[in-house]
Amino acid sequence: MTQLTFNVVGQGEHHASIKHLIIAGWAGRNSEAVEHHIAELEALGVRRPTQIPCFYRVSASLLNTGECIQVPGKDSSGETEFVLIPSEQGLLIGLGSDHTDRKVESYDVTVSKQMCDKPIAQQVWRYSEVQEHWDQLVMRTWRVRDGERALYQQGPVTNLLAPQTLLGKLNSAASLPADTAMFCGTQSVIGELGYGEAFEMELFDPVLNRSLRHQYGVESLPVAE
């Protein structure tokens, strides 16, 4: 069980006990685009998922609200995702990074997602505050590589399945089980996929003119030969 404290904007603190962490993959709304991406990765040796979307189960202890993560080598990179978290205040929307080892991903996606911590912002929103204008939200990522900061991902949430749709595919109750958090898919990468010394992420709400933000550094640990 991982204990985390979130700041629910405008509402105060929420103390979450997360026992189960789910990473939703292949969660795009456009099925043709999802299939095209699967075919691209198959050509690189990444195995086709058994279902679409696919729900990977990883350790809740990977959740990390800190300013830095440690990873083996320089084969990993971040992916900005919105995160669903149940609470007594209703469903919460958070912001996280499905930081993944790309080398391991080429032969085992599930193991690759277990390789790295999952950074997550401490600020969250109540889903009820954004539900009516959900499709206007925008996701962005910046990567720092060799000291240079550049836009790495950008796109509207309409590129991904909406929260209620994704929950409906997770289970018949269309809800998150207690003590569970779920990462919900990411945007396409601008330029080259790969390592960075740091990642910054944002979920922007143009209607309420506010953002969830988080940034984290990446410390590359030496890999013994």
CB-based contacts of 4: which residues, under 8 Å, 6+ apart?
Answer: 15, 16, 18, 63, 65, 120, 122
% residues pLDDT > 90 (the chain): 78
Contact 123, 160 (CB under 8 A): no
Tokens encoding 75: 């084969």
Q: How many domains is the chain partitioned into structurally?
A: 1
pLDDT at 81: 98
Query: Where is pLDDT greater, at 94 or 47?
Result: 94
pLDDT of residue 218: 98
Q: pLDDT digits over 202-220, tens only?
A: 999 999 999 999 999 999 9
Q: Quick one: which of 123, 132, 144, 136 has its CA closest to 211? A: 123
Look at residues 49, 58, 59 and name the one whose alpha carbon lies nearest to residue 26.
Answer: 49
pLDDT for 51 equals 87
Q: In what order do the strands lie in the sheet with 80-85?
A: 12-18, 2-8, 123-126, 92-97, 80-85, 180-183, 20-25, 54-58
In which domain, by residue range, is 146 found?
2-221
Residue 176 has pLDDT above 70, yes or no: yes
pLDDT value, residue 148: 97
Average pLDDT over the chain, rounded to whole?
A: 93
What value does the mean pLDDT take over residues 109-115? 92
Give the separation between CA 139 and CA 130, rounded to whole angstroms. Answer: 14
pTM of the complete model beyond 0.85? yes
CATH number of the domain where residue 88 is located: 3.90.850.10
Residue 105: phi, psi to the nearest 5? Answer: -55, -30
Give me the pLDDT at residue 44, please.
64
What is the maximum span of the chain, computed from C-alpha positions, in angstroms? 53
